[in-house]
Amino acid sequence: MSNKVYLLEDDESICELVKCTLDMNSISCETFTTVKAFNAAVDASLPDVVLLDVMLADGNGLEGRQRRKARFPALCVSMRSARGKETDKGKGLNAGADDYIAKPFGVLELIARVNAALRRANKSSVIRTGQLVMNTENMSVTYKGEELDLSNKEFQLLKYFMQNEGKVLPRETILSDVWGYDGGETRTLDNHIARLRKAGLNFETVFGVGYKFIAD
């Protein structure tokens, strides 16, 4: 088993179910029921992907990931009512999660989302656009010779724009291709674009449509 997944979840029955499911699909899974134990494991050895419930008694696993500037994809897993589902999804994505799975979830959906995250994590190449250089193997980005400090989702979003440099990209298309869901939560996209702009990158707003990235 070459791929390694960490699961942070305080429900031991869910831990057992997820671990068995992933192990049966040749994906190694280690489980943790506290943020403290999870953070210690991350410090010792980085996983390829993490699955985590952010609503735990001793903290938020995403916060620890951000402090370590970790680049591995994170999938937020949380129990939500139908009324609060979209709002909580947005909170998880804005906090740095790369995808969201609502409990209860199906085994096939779990495997599909984990495999998709692993493909993103394992794909490697160097992309150059103007003075912007991205290495997807070590997940680093330099602009005008200076390394940029990006979250994992900012990295994925910038990669998407670099691959479509100069094109006007509709909001709905970006949300579908980068976040994997349709409609809603456009503020999530706006917040990530704002952070990339602070790094000096040129994103043009095309009112009523979406965004265009111009390299220099």
| CATH 3.30.465.10 is the classification of domain 126-213 | no
* Spatial distance between the Cα atoms of 68 and 103, rounded to a whole number of angstroms: 27
Confidence of residue 83 (pLDDT cuts 50, 70, 90): very low
CB count within 10 Å of CB 170 equals: 13
Q: What are the tens digits of pLDDT across the range 199-208? A: 999 999 999 9
Q: Looking at residue 56, what DSSP letter applies? A: B
- Mean pLDDT value of segment 28-52: 86
* φ/ψ of residue 156, rounded to 5: -65, -40
List, for residues 44-56, the tens digit of each pLDDT value.
777 888 898 877 7
Question: Using one digit for the tens of pLDDT, what is the confidence trace for 137-176?
Answer: 788 999 988 899 999 899 999 999 998 999 999 999 999 8
Instruction: Name the residue with higher pLDDT: 2 or 164.
Output: 164
Question: What pLDDT does residue 139 have?
Answer: 86
Q: When comparing pLDDT for 191 and 101, which is higher?
A: 191
Region 121-150: mean pLDDT is: 82
Average confidence score pLDDT of the chain:
83
C-alpha to C-alpha distance for 59 and 79, rounded to whole angstroms: 16
Q: What is the mean pLDDT of residues 109-116?
A: 91
Q: Residue 88 pLDDT > 80, yes or no? A: no
Contact 174, 211 (CB under 8 A): yes
pLDDT cut 70: percent of the chain above it:
80
Fold of 4-122: Rossmann fold (3.40.50)
Domain boundaries, the chain: 4-122, 126-213
